[in-house]
């Protein structure tokens, strides 16, 4: 019975977090972050082209999977979308940790460190992804979930107004509710 109660509480928690509207993030300020090159930049430096911010942490398995999925489509979209992975301020990552994350995974887009903990101000953390318009308004967010390459591509295509370019990788389900169902069903079966 105790397992069922814990499972129910966990399931209700996931339902709550998955019910957060997809555009709940708001860019509240022109925030700074430090690139792996050491240069400190502002998000406003990226104005003029849509931006995908992947809020990360070097130890985050969800982030690692999202980066792998972004890498699958990076070459297709790099001329139209700016990709940035930012280790959020509460991650306890150092700039060296972020450099290691980028180099060990072999990614070509910008990686940086949230040096002023802006992520805390806007209540975001690792595993969150924001698609920003060319004028840096938040168009879409994926909150604390693994996002498939196809889901990213579909959002990019919708914003860019182009037909789907053929990204079909659906090896990861991006719905927290579906993932929770996979976890809860075995617990319910054991109870019988």
pLDDT one-digit tens code per residue, 49-86: 999 999 999 999 999 999 999 999 999 999 999 999 99
Whether the model pTM is above 0.75: no
Domain contains 34: yes
- pLDDT tens readout for residues 7-59: 555 544 444 444 344 444 566 678 999 999 999 999 999 999 999 999 999 99
Domain contains 127: yes
How many domains does the chain divide into? 1
Domain contains 180: no
User: Where in the sequence is the domain holding 104, given as residue range(s)?
Assistant: 22-173
H and E: helices and strands count for the chain:
6, 7
Domain contains 5: no
Count of all residues that appear for the chain in the document: 192
Domain contains 183: no
Q: What angle do CA 51, 173, 169 make, to 5 degrees?
A: 70
- pLDDT tens readout for residues 162-192: 754 444 444 334 444 444 444 544 554 455 4
Of 125, 128, 127, 94, the residue nearest 112 (C-alpha): 94
Domain contains 185: no
């Amino acid at each position: 019975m105790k397992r069922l109660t814990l499972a129910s509480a966990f399931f209700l928690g996931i339902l709550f977090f998955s019910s957060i509207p997809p555009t709940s993030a708001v860019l509240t300020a022109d925030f700074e972050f430090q690139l792996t090159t050491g240069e400190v930049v502002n998000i406003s430096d990226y104005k003029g082209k849509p931006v995908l911010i992947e809020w990360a942490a070097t130890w985050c398995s969800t982030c690692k999977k999202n980066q792998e999925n972004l890498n699958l489509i990076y070459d297709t979209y790099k001329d139209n979308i700016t990709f940035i992975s930012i280790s959020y301020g509460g991650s306890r990552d150092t700039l060296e940790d972020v450099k290691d994350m980028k180099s060990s995974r072999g990614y070509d887009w910008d990686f940086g460190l949230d040096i002023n903990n802006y992520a805390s101000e806007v209540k975001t953390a690792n595993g969150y992804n924001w698609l920003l318009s060319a004028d840096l308004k938040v168009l879409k967010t994926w909150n604390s979930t693994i996002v498939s390459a196809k889901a990213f591509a579909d959002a990019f295509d919708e914003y860019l107004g182009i037909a789907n370019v053929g990204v079909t990788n659906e090896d990861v389900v991006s719905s927290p509710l579906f993932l929770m169902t996979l976890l809860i069903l075995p617990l319910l079966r054991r109870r019988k």
